[in-house]
Amino acid sequence: MQGARTPVRSLLRRGDFRRLLGTRLLSQFGDGVFQAALAGTVLFNPQRAADPVDVAAGFAVLLLPYSLVGPFAGVWLDRWSRRQVLQRANLVRAGLVAVVAALVLAGVGGLPFYAAGLAVFSVNRFVLAALSAALPHVSDQPSLVSANALSTTSGAVATVVGGGVALALLPLTGTGDGGYAAVALAAVLPYLAAAAVVTGFARGHLGPDHTARSARLPAREVVAGMLAGARHAWSRPPAAAALTVIVLQRFCYGVLTLMTLLLYRNTFTGSGLFPGGLVGLGEVIGAGAVGTLLAAAVTPRAVRHVGKPRWITLLLAAGGLVQLGLGLPFVAPTVVAAGLALGFVGQAVKICVDTTLQETVDDDFRGRVFSVYDTLFNIAFVAALVVGALVLPPSGISYPVLVAVGAGYLLTAAWYARATSSGG
Protein backbone atom coordinates (compact mmCIF):
# COMPACT_ATOMS: atom_id res chain seq x y z
CA MET A 1 0.00 0.00 0.00
CA GLN A 2 1.22 3.48 -0.81
CA GLY A 3 0.40 4.81 2.68
CA ALA A 4 2.61 2.14 4.21
CA ARG A 5 5.51 3.09 1.93
CA THR A 6 5.19 6.82 2.60
CA PRO A 7 3.74 7.09 6.12
CA VAL A 8 4.98 10.65 6.71
CA ARG A 9 3.35 11.93 3.54
CA SER A 10 0.17 10.07 4.44
CA LEU A 11 0.16 11.59 7.92
CA LEU A 12 0.69 15.11 6.63
CA ARG A 13 -2.39 14.72 4.40
CA ARG A 14 -4.50 14.43 7.55
CA GLY A 15 -5.77 17.80 8.73
CA ASP A 16 -6.15 16.63 12.31
CA PHE A 17 -2.54 15.39 12.43
CA ARG A 18 -1.29 18.72 11.04
CA ARG A 19 -3.31 20.62 13.63
CA LEU A 20 -1.95 18.57 16.55
CA LEU A 21 1.57 18.91 15.12
CA GLY A 22 1.11 22.67 14.85
CA THR A 23 0.00 22.79 18.47
CA ARG A 24 3.11 20.87 19.49
CA LEU A 25 5.50 23.00 17.43
CA LEU A 26 4.19 26.29 18.77
CA SER A 27 4.10 24.97 22.31
CA GLN A 28 7.62 23.57 22.25
CA PHE A 29 8.98 26.64 20.46
CA GLY A 30 7.72 28.63 23.44
CA ASP A 31 9.40 26.10 25.75
CA GLY A 32 12.72 26.74 24.00
CA VAL A 33 12.45 30.50 24.41
CA PHE A 34 11.49 30.21 28.08
CA GLN A 35 14.09 27.57 28.94
CA ALA A 36 16.88 29.57 27.31
CA ALA A 37 15.84 32.64 29.30
CA LEU A 38 15.76 30.60 32.50
CA ALA A 39 19.14 28.95 31.82
CA GLY A 40 20.70 32.31 31.08
CA THR A 41 19.22 33.80 34.25
CA VAL A 42 20.54 31.03 36.49
CA LEU A 43 23.84 30.04 34.81
CA PHE A 44 25.21 32.87 32.67
CA ASN A 45 23.75 36.02 34.19
CA PRO A 46 26.63 38.19 35.48
CA GLN A 47 24.29 39.42 38.24
CA ARG A 48 23.97 35.87 39.62
CA ALA A 49 26.34 32.94 40.30
CA ALA A 50 26.02 29.15 40.55
CA ASP A 51 28.17 26.11 41.39
CA PRO A 52 27.34 22.42 40.70
CA VAL A 53 25.26 22.10 43.86
CA ASP A 54 23.32 25.29 43.03
CA VAL A 55 22.55 24.02 39.52
CA ALA A 56 21.41 20.62 40.79
CA ALA A 57 19.36 22.20 43.58
CA GLY A 58 17.65 24.49 41.10
CA PHE A 59 16.67 21.58 38.84
CA ALA A 60 15.51 19.56 41.85
CA VAL A 61 13.31 22.36 43.17
CA LEU A 62 11.80 22.86 39.71
CA LEU A 63 11.29 19.22 38.74
CA LEU A 64 11.16 16.94 41.76
CA PRO A 65 7.97 18.29 43.38
CA TYR A 66 6.12 17.84 40.09
CA SER A 67 7.60 14.38 39.75
CA LEU A 68 6.00 13.40 43.03
CA VAL A 69 2.53 14.67 42.09
CA GLY A 70 2.68 14.22 38.30
CA PRO A 71 0.80 10.90 38.16
CA PHE A 72 -2.26 12.70 39.53
CA ALA A 73 -2.43 14.69 36.30
CA GLY A 74 -2.83 11.51 34.30
CA VAL A 75 -6.10 10.71 36.05
CA TRP A 76 -7.59 13.90 34.65
CA LEU A 77 -6.04 13.31 31.22
CA ASP A 78 -8.15 10.15 31.07
CA ARG A 79 -11.29 11.98 32.20
CA TRP A 80 -11.14 15.43 30.64
CA SER A 81 -11.21 16.32 26.95
CA ARG A 82 -7.55 16.39 25.92
CA ARG A 83 -8.36 19.22 23.54
CA GLN A 84 -9.56 21.27 26.51
CA VAL A 85 -6.46 20.33 28.48
CA LEU A 86 -4.13 21.53 25.71
CA GLN A 87 -6.06 24.74 25.17
CA ARG A 88 -6.29 25.76 28.80
CA ALA A 89 -2.82 24.60 29.77
CA ASN A 90 -1.23 26.81 27.12
CA LEU A 91 -3.26 29.79 28.35
CA VAL A 92 -2.19 29.08 31.92
CA ARG A 93 1.45 28.82 30.85
CA ALA A 94 1.29 32.19 29.17
CA GLY A 95 0.15 33.77 32.42
CA LEU A 96 2.73 31.95 34.53
CA VAL A 97 5.59 32.93 32.20
CA ALA A 98 4.58 36.57 32.62
CA VAL A 99 4.88 36.10 36.38
CA VAL A 100 8.36 34.56 36.02
CA ALA A 101 9.45 37.41 33.77
CA ALA A 102 8.30 39.92 36.39
CA LEU A 103 10.28 38.11 39.10
CA VAL A 104 13.43 38.04 36.95
CA LEU A 105 13.05 41.75 36.19
CA ALA A 106 12.75 42.50 39.90
CA GLY A 107 15.86 40.44 40.67
CA VAL A 108 13.89 38.02 42.83
CA GLY A 109 15.56 34.66 43.51
CA GLY A 110 15.16 31.84 45.96
CA LEU A 111 11.82 30.23 46.77
CA PRO A 112 9.47 32.64 44.91
CA PHE A 113 11.50 32.37 41.70
CA TYR A 114 11.76 28.57 41.86
CA ALA A 115 8.08 28.20 42.79
CA ALA A 116 7.04 30.18 39.72
CA GLY A 117 9.40 28.17 37.52
CA LEU A 118 8.03 24.96 39.04
CA ALA A 119 4.51 25.97 38.06
CA VAL A 120 5.56 26.51 34.44
CA PHE A 121 7.45 23.22 34.20
CA SER A 122 4.54 21.37 35.80
CA VAL A 123 2.15 22.61 33.14
CA ASN A 124 4.76 21.81 30.45
CA ARG A 125 4.81 18.15 31.47
CA PHE A 126 1.01 18.10 31.54
CA VAL A 127 0.97 19.40 27.96
CA LEU A 128 3.56 16.89 26.70
CA ALA A 129 1.69 13.98 28.29
CA ALA A 130 -1.56 15.17 26.69
CA LEU A 131 0.09 15.49 23.27
CA SER A 132 1.45 11.93 23.47
CA ALA A 133 -1.86 10.51 24.70
CA ALA A 134 -3.73 12.29 21.88
CA LEU A 135 -1.43 11.21 19.03
CA PRO A 136 -3.11 7.82 18.30
CA HIS A 137 -6.34 9.75 17.61
CA VAL A 138 -4.75 11.50 14.62
CA SER A 139 -2.78 8.53 13.24
CA ASP A 140 -3.54 4.93 12.32
CA GLN A 141 -1.59 2.26 14.21
CA PRO A 142 0.74 1.21 11.33
CA SER A 143 1.94 4.83 11.11
CA LEU A 144 2.53 5.35 14.83
CA VAL A 145 6.32 4.97 14.68
CA SER A 146 6.49 7.57 11.92
CA ALA A 147 3.97 9.79 13.73
CA ASN A 148 6.09 9.71 16.87
CA ALA A 149 9.28 10.27 14.90
CA LEU A 150 7.84 13.29 13.13
CA SER A 151 6.00 14.76 16.13
CA THR A 152 8.50 14.35 18.95
CA THR A 153 11.53 15.12 16.78
CA SER A 154 10.07 18.22 15.15
CA GLY A 155 8.91 19.29 18.62
CA ALA A 156 12.43 18.88 19.98
CA VAL A 157 13.81 20.86 17.03
CA ALA A 158 11.20 23.56 17.64
CA THR A 159 12.47 23.80 21.22
CA VAL A 160 16.03 24.27 19.96
CA VAL A 161 14.89 26.87 17.42
CA GLY A 162 13.08 28.69 20.21
CA GLY A 163 16.28 28.66 22.23
CA GLY A 164 18.16 29.99 19.20
CA VAL A 165 15.68 32.83 18.83
CA ALA A 166 16.18 33.63 22.50
CA LEU A 167 19.96 33.79 21.97
CA ALA A 168 19.42 36.05 18.97
CA LEU A 169 17.34 38.41 21.11
CA LEU A 170 19.99 38.76 23.83
CA PRO A 171 22.19 41.28 21.95
CA LEU A 172 19.08 43.49 21.74
CA THR A 173 17.87 42.99 25.30
CA GLY A 174 21.15 42.62 27.20
CA THR A 175 22.30 39.83 29.51
CA GLY A 176 21.23 41.21 32.88
CA ASP A 177 17.99 40.60 34.72
CA GLY A 178 16.07 43.00 32.47
CA GLY A 179 17.27 41.31 29.28
CA TYR A 180 16.45 37.80 30.42
CA ALA A 181 13.04 38.98 31.66
CA ALA A 182 12.23 40.37 28.21
CA VAL A 183 13.29 37.13 26.53
CA ALA A 184 11.19 35.06 28.94
CA LEU A 185 8.17 37.25 28.22
CA ALA A 186 8.55 36.54 24.50
CA ALA A 187 7.48 32.92 25.19
CA VAL A 188 3.94 34.14 25.89
CA LEU A 189 3.17 34.62 22.17
CA PRO A 190 3.77 31.02 20.97
CA TYR A 191 1.85 29.65 23.98
CA LEU A 192 -1.17 31.79 23.07
CA ALA A 193 -0.86 30.71 19.43
CA ALA A 194 -0.78 27.02 20.46
CA ALA A 195 -3.99 27.51 22.44
CA ALA A 196 -5.62 29.09 19.39
CA VAL A 197 -4.59 26.27 17.04
CA VAL A 198 -5.84 23.41 19.24
CA THR A 199 -9.20 25.14 19.60
CA GLY A 200 -9.92 24.00 16.03
CA PHE A 201 -10.47 20.42 17.21
CA ALA A 202 -13.89 19.17 18.23
CA ARG A 203 -14.04 18.71 21.99
CA GLY A 204 -13.85 14.89 21.92
CA HIS A 205 -11.58 14.40 18.90
CA LEU A 206 -8.38 13.76 20.88
CA GLY A 207 -9.98 11.42 23.43
CA PRO A 208 -10.20 9.85 25.86
CA ASP A 209 -12.60 7.41 24.24
CA HIS A 210 -14.69 6.85 27.39
CA THR A 211 -14.88 9.72 29.85
CA ALA A 212 -16.47 9.66 33.27
CA ARG A 213 -19.54 11.82 33.80
CA SER A 214 -17.87 13.97 36.42
CA ALA A 215 -14.30 15.23 36.50
CA ARG A 216 -14.49 15.79 40.25
CA LEU A 217 -12.77 13.05 42.20
CA PRO A 218 -11.98 12.55 45.86
CA ALA A 219 -8.27 12.28 46.66
CA ARG A 220 -8.56 8.57 47.42
CA GLU A 221 -9.98 7.88 43.96
CA VAL A 222 -7.24 9.97 42.36
CA VAL A 223 -4.60 7.86 44.10
CA ALA A 224 -6.41 4.68 43.06
CA GLY A 225 -6.47 5.88 39.44
CA MET A 226 -2.78 6.72 39.56
CA LEU A 227 -1.91 3.27 40.87
CA ALA A 228 -4.18 1.66 38.29
CA GLY A 229 -2.30 3.39 35.49
CA ALA A 230 1.04 2.22 36.88
CA ARG A 231 -0.22 -1.36 37.30
CA HIS A 232 -1.64 -1.31 33.79
CA ALA A 233 1.77 -0.41 32.34
CA TRP A 234 3.77 -2.82 34.48
CA SER A 235 1.39 -5.71 33.68
CA ARG A 236 2.51 -5.49 30.05
CA PRO A 237 6.14 -6.63 29.73
CA PRO A 238 6.96 -4.54 26.63
CA ALA A 239 5.67 -1.39 28.36
CA ALA A 240 7.47 -2.19 31.61
CA ALA A 241 10.78 -2.79 29.81
CA ALA A 242 10.34 0.40 27.78
CA LEU A 243 9.73 2.49 30.90
CA THR A 244 12.75 0.97 32.63
CA VAL A 245 15.10 1.57 29.72
CA ILE A 246 14.04 5.21 29.29
CA VAL A 247 14.64 5.85 33.00
CA LEU A 248 18.15 4.39 32.87
CA GLN A 249 18.97 6.27 29.68
CA ARG A 250 17.60 9.50 31.15
CA PHE A 251 19.81 9.09 34.24
CA CYS A 252 22.92 8.82 32.06
CA TYR A 253 21.76 11.82 30.06
CA GLY A 254 21.25 13.88 33.22
CA VAL A 255 24.83 13.33 34.40
CA LEU A 256 26.15 14.33 30.97
CA THR A 257 23.90 17.41 30.97
CA LEU A 258 25.35 18.72 34.23
CA MET A 259 28.88 17.92 33.05
CA THR A 260 28.29 19.89 29.84
CA LEU A 261 26.79 22.88 31.69
CA LEU A 262 29.83 23.05 33.98
CA LEU A 263 32.27 22.72 31.11
CA TYR A 264 30.73 25.65 29.27
CA ARG A 265 30.33 27.77 32.38
CA ASN A 266 33.75 27.26 33.95
CA THR A 267 36.19 25.54 31.56
CA PHE A 268 35.52 26.37 27.91
CA THR A 269 36.25 30.09 27.68
CA GLY A 270 37.59 30.37 24.14
CA SER A 271 36.08 32.21 21.20
CA GLY A 272 36.04 31.53 17.49
CA LEU A 273 34.44 28.48 15.95
CA PHE A 274 33.87 26.67 19.27
CA PRO A 275 33.32 29.36 21.93
CA GLY A 276 32.54 28.92 25.60
CA GLY A 277 29.64 30.34 27.59
CA LEU A 278 25.99 30.35 26.55
CA VAL A 279 26.79 30.58 22.82
CA GLY A 280 29.02 27.49 22.98
CA LEU A 281 26.35 25.64 24.95
CA GLY A 282 23.96 26.63 22.19
CA GLU A 283 26.24 24.86 19.70
CA VAL A 284 25.93 21.64 21.70
CA ILE A 285 22.16 22.00 21.81
CA GLY A 286 22.08 22.71 18.07
CA ALA A 287 24.19 19.63 17.39
CA GLY A 288 21.75 17.64 19.51
CA ALA A 289 18.91 18.98 17.35
CA VAL A 290 20.69 17.71 14.23
CA GLY A 291 20.92 14.34 15.96
CA THR A 292 17.20 14.33 16.65
CA LEU A 293 16.45 15.07 12.99
CA LEU A 294 18.67 12.19 11.90
CA ALA A 295 16.94 9.94 14.42
CA ALA A 296 13.56 10.83 12.98
CA ALA A 297 14.75 10.05 9.47
CA VAL A 298 16.46 6.76 10.34
CA THR A 299 14.34 5.22 13.11
CA PRO A 300 11.14 4.31 11.24
CA ARG A 301 13.11 2.43 8.58
CA ALA A 302 15.40 0.81 11.17
CA VAL A 303 12.40 -0.36 13.20
CA ARG A 304 10.84 -1.92 10.11
CA HIS A 305 14.04 -3.88 9.49
CA VAL A 306 15.18 -4.93 12.97
CA GLY A 307 12.27 -4.16 15.31
CA LYS A 308 12.05 -1.71 18.20
CA PRO A 309 13.80 -3.83 20.89
CA ARG A 310 16.85 -4.59 18.79
CA TRP A 311 17.10 -1.01 17.57
CA ILE A 312 17.02 0.32 21.16
CA THR A 313 19.75 -2.15 22.15
CA LEU A 314 21.98 -1.10 19.26
CA LEU A 315 21.42 2.58 20.03
CA LEU A 316 22.38 2.28 23.68
CA ALA A 317 25.47 0.21 22.96
CA ALA A 318 26.64 2.64 20.28
CA GLY A 319 25.82 5.59 22.56
CA GLY A 320 28.06 4.26 25.32
CA LEU A 321 31.00 3.72 22.96
CA VAL A 322 30.60 7.08 21.22
CA GLN A 323 30.36 9.01 24.49
CA LEU A 324 33.61 7.45 25.65
CA GLY A 325 35.37 8.13 22.37
CA LEU A 326 34.22 11.72 21.94
CA GLY A 327 33.81 12.81 25.55
CA LEU A 328 37.11 11.78 27.10
CA PRO A 329 39.27 14.41 25.35
CA PHE A 330 37.19 17.12 27.11
CA VAL A 331 37.61 19.65 24.32
CA ALA A 332 34.83 21.73 22.81
CA PRO A 333 34.82 20.25 19.24
CA THR A 334 34.43 16.65 20.45
CA VAL A 335 31.85 17.68 23.06
CA VAL A 336 29.76 19.22 20.26
CA ALA A 337 30.10 15.98 18.26
CA ALA A 338 29.13 13.97 21.35
CA GLY A 339 26.06 16.21 21.67
CA LEU A 340 25.00 15.23 18.16
CA ALA A 341 25.40 11.54 18.97
CA LEU A 342 23.55 11.89 22.26
CA GLY A 343 20.71 13.72 20.53
CA PHE A 344 20.42 10.90 18.00
CA VAL A 345 20.44 8.13 20.61
CA GLY A 346 18.10 9.85 23.05
CA GLN A 347 15.51 10.78 20.42
CA ALA A 348 15.57 7.41 18.66
CA VAL A 349 15.08 5.60 21.96
CA LYS A 350 12.25 7.96 22.91
CA ILE A 351 10.47 7.40 19.59
CA CYS A 352 10.53 3.65 20.20
CA VAL A 353 9.45 3.93 23.83
CA ASP A 354 6.58 6.31 23.03
CA THR A 355 5.35 4.00 20.29
CA THR A 356 5.63 0.92 22.49
CA LEU A 357 3.50 2.54 25.17
CA GLN A 358 0.92 3.78 22.68
CA GLU A 359 0.64 0.30 21.16
CA THR A 360 0.50 -1.70 24.39
CA VAL A 361 -1.66 0.35 26.79
CA ASP A 362 -5.41 0.89 26.49
CA ASP A 363 -6.61 4.38 25.56
CA ASP A 364 -8.54 4.77 28.80
CA PHE A 365 -5.26 4.36 30.70
CA ARG A 366 -3.02 6.20 28.26
CA GLY A 367 -3.06 9.58 29.99
CA ARG A 368 -2.17 8.04 33.34
CA VAL A 369 0.58 5.90 31.81
CA PHE A 370 2.17 8.85 30.01
CA SER A 371 1.96 10.93 33.15
CA VAL A 372 3.74 8.19 35.10
CA TYR A 373 6.24 8.05 32.23
CA ASP A 374 6.92 11.79 32.53
CA THR A 375 7.26 11.48 36.30
CA LEU A 376 9.83 8.69 36.07
CA PHE A 377 11.57 10.72 33.36
CA ASN A 378 11.89 13.69 35.72
CA ILE A 379 12.90 11.69 38.78
CA ALA A 380 15.71 10.01 36.84
CA PHE A 381 16.95 13.37 35.58
CA VAL A 382 16.88 15.00 39.03
CA ALA A 383 18.60 11.97 40.61
CA ALA A 384 21.33 12.20 37.98
CA LEU A 385 21.84 15.90 38.69
CA VAL A 386 22.09 15.27 42.41
CA VAL A 387 24.63 12.49 41.88
CA GLY A 388 26.52 14.65 39.39
CA ALA A 389 26.63 17.58 41.82
CA LEU A 390 28.23 15.31 44.42
CA VAL A 391 30.86 13.74 42.16
CA LEU A 392 31.67 16.38 39.54
CA PRO A 393 34.22 19.16 40.14
CA PRO A 394 33.27 22.75 39.20
CA SER A 395 35.32 22.41 36.01
CA GLY A 396 33.09 19.56 34.80
CA ILE A 397 36.14 17.45 33.92
CA SER A 398 35.99 13.96 35.45
CA TYR A 399 37.34 10.94 33.61
CA PRO A 400 35.94 8.38 36.11
CA VAL A 401 32.41 9.84 35.88
CA LEU A 402 32.44 9.84 32.08
CA VAL A 403 33.68 6.25 32.00
CA ALA A 404 30.93 5.27 34.46
CA VAL A 405 28.27 6.91 32.27
CA GLY A 406 29.58 5.12 29.16
CA ALA A 407 29.46 1.84 31.06
CA GLY A 408 25.92 2.69 32.15
CA TYR A 409 24.79 2.91 28.52
CA LEU A 410 26.44 -0.43 27.71
CA LEU A 411 24.95 -2.19 30.75
CA THR A 412 21.50 -0.81 29.96
CA ALA A 413 21.82 -2.15 26.41
CA ALA A 414 22.78 -5.58 27.73
CA TRP A 415 19.89 -5.65 30.22
CA TYR A 416 17.30 -4.55 27.65
CA ALA A 417 18.50 -7.10 25.11
CA ARG A 418 18.01 -9.85 27.69
CA ALA A 419 14.64 -8.49 28.92
CA THR A 420 13.19 -8.40 25.40
CA SER A 421 14.88 -11.46 23.94
CA SER A 422 11.63 -13.46 23.95
CA GLY A 423 9.71 -11.04 21.79
CA GLY A 424 10.06 -8.29 19.21
The answer to whether residue 424 is domain-embedded is no
Q: What is the pLDDT of residue 216?
A: 56
Q: In terms of residue numbers, what domain contains 267?
A: 2-210+217-419
Q: What is the pLDDT of residue 38?
A: 85
The answer to whether residue 293 is domain-embedded is yes
The answer to whether residue 169 is domain-embedded is yes
Three-state secondary structure of 320-355: HHHHHHHHCCCCHHHHHHHHHHHHHHHHHHHHHHHH
Tell me the whole-structure pTM to 2 decimals. 0.75
The answer to whether residue 145 is domain-embedded is yes
Domain with 95 in it: what CATH number?
A: 1.20.1250.20
The answer to whether residue 139 is domain-embedded is yes
The answer to whether residue 180 is domain-embedded is yes
Q: What is the pLDDT of residue 325?
A: 94
Q: What is the pLDDT of residue 321?
A: 96
Question: Averaged in consecutive runs of 10 residues, what is the pLDDT profile of the chain (424 residues)?
Answer: 60 95 97 88 64 71 64 70 93 96 88 83 83 91 88 90 91 86 96 97 86 54 73 91 95 94 87 84 90 91 94 97 93 95 94 92 82 82 89 93 97 95 60
Q: What is the pLDDT of residue 222?
A: 63
Report CA-CA distances (Å) from 340 to 39, 73, 117, 156, 177. Answer: 20, 33, 28, 13, 31
Report CA-CA distances (Å) from 267 to 67, 284, 314. Answer: 32, 15, 33
Count: domains in the chain: 1
